[in-house]
């Protein structure tokens, strides 16, 4: 099983899906080290393109993602991780899913989910990637 990191400049896109509800929660990226750490620990580790370093999801908020099942696509250049998401939500803006805005055909974005927690209290020390 050889993952194709090269097509994305060393990073694979990784879809995070709730193992219980099948809701898509977020999309992150992994380099080979993030992939290895995720496999080794059973908790999701990304590579942050903003911070340019490994980023364990929940390292600050406690909202870790426990890996239930990992899937790979036909071209071995994308991953789908089914997880148990610990805590009220994965998004640093306080929502269950990062995909809390709908885009209409005219391009207007509207928030269509309810906020689950106060991000200022959870992410007090620094901005998330």
Interaction site with its own copies (CB under 8 A)? 1, 7, 9, 13, 15, 17, 21-24, 26-27, 39, 42, 49, 69-75, 78-80, 91-93, 95, 98-103, 105, 107-109
For the chain, the three-class secondary structure string (H helix, E strand, C coil) is CCCCCHHHCCCEEEEEEECCCCCEEEEEEECHHHHHHHHHHCECEEEECCCCEEEECCCCCCCCEEEEEEEECCCCCCEEEEEEECCCCCCCCCECCCCCEEECCCCCEEECCCECCCHHHHCCCCCCC
Q: Judged by CB, which is closer to its own copies: 56, or 92?
A: 92
Q: How far is the CB of 96 from its own copies (least distance, A)?
A: 12
Q: Judged by CB, which is closer to its own copies: 109, or 114?
A: 109
């Amino acid at each position: 099983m050889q993952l194709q990191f090269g097509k994305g400049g060393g990073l694979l896109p990784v879809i995070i899906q709730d193992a219980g509800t099948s809701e898509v929660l977020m999309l992150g990226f992994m380099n080979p080290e993030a992939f290895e750490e995720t496999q080794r620990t059973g908790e999701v580790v990304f590579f942050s393109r903003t911070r340019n370093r490994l980023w364990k999801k929940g390292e600050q908020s406690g909202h870790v993602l426990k890996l239930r099942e990992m899937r790979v696509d036909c071209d071995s250049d994308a991953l789908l991780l089914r997880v148990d998401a610990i805590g009220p939500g994965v998004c640093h803006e306080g929502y269950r899913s990062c995909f809390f805005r709908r885009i209409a055909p005219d391009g207007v974005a509207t928030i269509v989910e309810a906020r689950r927690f106060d991000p200022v209290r959870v992410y007090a020390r620094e901005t998330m990637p």
